[in-house]
Amino acid sequence: MSQKKTYYITTPIYYPSGKWHLGTCYTTVICDALARFKRMSGYDVFYLTGTDEHGLKIQEKAAACGMDTKKYLDIQVNNLKKIWEIYDISYNKFIRTTDEEHKSAVKRIFQKLYDKGDIYKGEYEGWYCVPCESFWTKSQLIDGKCPDCGREVERTKEVAYFFKLSKYQDRIVKLFQDNPEFLEPKSRVNEMVNNFLTPGLQDLCVTRNSFKWGIEVPFDPEHIIYVWIDALTNYLTALGYESNDDSLFKKYWPADVHMTAKEIVRFHSIIWPALLMSLELPLPKKVFGHGWIMFGEDKMSKSKGNVIDPTILAERYGIDSIRYYLLRDIPFGSDGNYTNSMLLNRVNNDLANTYGNLISRTVAMIHQYCNGQIPVKSTEMPEDAELIAMASSMLDNVTARIDKLEIPDAIAEIFKVIQRANKYIDETTPWSLNKLGEKERLNTVMYNLSEVIRIVTVGLLPFITKGTVKVLDTFNVPENGRTFESIKKFGFSKAGVNVEKLSPVFPRYDIVKEVAELEKLAEGSEPKVEKKVEFINKPEVTLDDFDKLQLRVAKVLSCEKVEKTDKLLHLTVDCGGVQRSIVSGIAKYYKPEDVIGKSVTIIANLAPVKLRGILSEGMILCAADENGKLAIVSPDKDIDSGSEVK
């Protein structure tokens, strides 16, 4: 018995701290299409997805909802699994980093790395911004200040464990050099080399003790294993690595593709290989960093964000449409735009008009001219040759594209055949053959059409999962006629098989109307989205503490953008007859002319600092919400500048 070739494909494990969105679906749908395609091509496929459930954010998020952390996670994960069910995702395993198996394996992996001498205890030196409660590295600081609030940071030390990433520098560099296929698309390689490899890899801090929700270091439970070792290793532990039964690991490792989005390419293409090298395991064959889905140029994109809710779209247009759009319309590897009308246009043109209509007209003619049965093929004419040739070579072309991960092009290969079939109908004009009584020729044409439809439909199965099955059912295609094997050669279909009647499989939408309704839907649902403001409560303060702050009203005299910065405005304010210079990071929200003449509230006794070389003597109070809106806090009536706020 010869062993089937294996194919191990993974999505990243998703972080269940927020709402699930279309981007998550994108990654997962791509992997699903690949997994299905490989299965049909005869591979023994293992498709892994899951969730990364540890860390401070999760702990806080659950607390903010007033829930037990694990319970919160269970709900989130459940929601995600429901989405995958709707999206027809054919994963073989869903791993959670809170799974006991994973946790114990991670501990053993950590121990292994430690025993090898690749993990050592050291001191984590960082710059700590007390008000923001955040650690920053030196390179993150802006002019030596906290990049978030622009205030002074203090140098802090913390004991932690480090992984000797630097030790693997040379081997990683060599990996990129010798193996250009390892990381794709190519542009990402430059990014990695220039940003991280050339400057030199730093050892990586792999534990934290600022939170508890995670896996403890086996020999030092004060410390929690940080995301790198905890999350990345899921690709191993899901297969039972370091467990009682590692047969799956032996069978499927190394992974064929780790699909990731571009922002986590670094972890997968540098840190992950280094960890594997340390564990002396083979490296994955490929890491692919795909692009992002942007929200087009839709002006109201922010407020319409929830239209992109993956379940709303799926409910409204069916999963075939969404999957098809994601796979076909997003240029793989670079960023793609999403707009409602792009989605609907694509679905109307390809699914309804080109493909759906081909089926409709063919089925209708079989019923009108052939008693609803696939007819006998006899008189072949030269004009059949091209169609048959295209249908016969289709699978090879599609496979070649898929092997290069060119998914939109793979689908385009199938549509070339579909378009050719539509043209074939025009060339052969079955209706006039019918009038002329050329029965044999008519039958041949209708046979060829039925067979082409079978071939393209089987080819589409990995991408479009529902409607395609309906089409094959309509033509009563037997199981063994739904395989890739059966479409390598033209002529599998048998004459005499009944063809069912059918209503349109892929409906056509009124784009103008739908877009308008989606927008209305977005607006309508806007207020409904409960905005539970979550905040980390700061410790209680006394009046004395408050008294330390000197808050005053000031009037903006002049304001200009600080050159070569994105965020900074330089304001000159009058505060009780004294002029002050203040630099504020509000340029993204306010234009200079918007604030001139405005009364604002400032902290007047904040220690002066220089930002971008400009003196800032104070801070303007602003309110910021979770959606990235920002508003200056101003007195609600006219009041003298310099008035104290208390």
Footprint on residues 39-58 left by RNA (CB under 7 A): 55-57
Please identify which residue in 297, 530, 636, 638 interacts with RNA, judged by CB under 7 A. 297
Please identify which residue in 42, 117, 478, 504 interacts with RNA, judged by CB under 7 A. 504
Q: Which residues is 126 bridged to in the sheet? A: 156
Q: Which of residues 53-92 bind RNA (CB under 7 A)?
A: 55-57
CA distance 182 to 282: 13
CA distance 632 to 601: 8
Q: Which of residues 256-295 bind RNA (CB under 7 A)?
A: 260-264, 290, 292-293
Shortest Cβ distance from residue 426 to RNA (Å)? 4
419 lines the binding site for RNA (CB under 7 A): yes
CA distance 17 to 102: 20
3-class SS at 487? helix
Measuring CA to CA, how many Å separate 155 from each of 130, 203, 538? 11, 19, 22
Alpha helix stretches (DSSP H) within 461-573: 467-474, 511-525, 543-547
Q: Which residues is 31 bridged to in the sheet? A: none
Q: 268 or 377: whose CB is closer to RNA?
A: 268
Alpha helix stretches (DSSP H) within 370-526: 382-403, 407-428, 430-436, 439-460, 467-474, 511-525
Shortest Cβ distance from residue 227 to RNA (Å)? 5
375 lines the binding site for RNA (CB under 7 A): no
Q: Name every residue whose Cβ is closer than 8 Å to that of residue 400 and which is 6 or more positions away in sequence.
A: none
Please identify which residue in 75, 86, 149, 227 interacts with RNA, judged by CB under 7 A. 227
Please identify which residue in 372, 507, 576, 635 interacts with RNA, judged by CB under 7 A. 507
**Cβ neighbour number for residue 313 with a 10 Å cutoff:** 21
Shortest Cβ distance from residue 12 to RNA (Å)? 5
Shortest Cβ distance from residue 339 to RNA (Å)? 8
Query: How many angstroms from the chain centroid is the CA of residue 572?
Result: 44
360 lines the binding site for RNA (CB under 7 A): yes
Q: Which of residues 118-147 bind RNA (CB under 7 A)?
A: 136-137, 139-140
Please choose, out of 344-352, 379-387, 540-548, 553-561, the segment that lies near RNA by the rule CB under 7 A: 344-352
Give the residue carrying structure tokens 């039964």. 245
Q: 201 or 632: whose CB is closer to RNA?
A: 201
Helical (H) or strand (E) element with 342 = helix 340-346
Q: 43 or 211: whose CB is closer to RNA?
A: 211
CA-based angle 470:323:528, to the nearest 5?
115
Helical (H) or strand (E) element with 553 = strand 551-561
Please identify which residue in 90, 209, 345, 483 interacts with RNA, judged by CB under 7 A. 345
3-class SS at 610? strand
Q: Which of residues 508-537 bind RNA (CB under 7 A)?
A: 508
Contact letters for RNA, residues 594-633 (x by CB under 7 A): ----------------------------------------
Q: Which of residues 554-593 bind RNA (CB under 7 A)?
A: 564
Distinct helix (H) and strand (E) counts, the chain:
22, 25
Q: Which of residues 432-461 bind RNA (CB under 7 A)?
A: 432
Please choose, out of 110-118, 122-130, 333-341, 573-581, the segment that lies near RNA by the rule CB under 7 A: 333-341
Q: Which of residues 181-200 bind RNA (CB under 7 A)?
A: 187, 190-191, 194-195
Q: 62 or 352: whose CB is closer to RNA?
A: 352
335 lines the binding site for RNA (CB under 7 A): yes
Nearest to 9 by CA among 253, 323, 289: 253
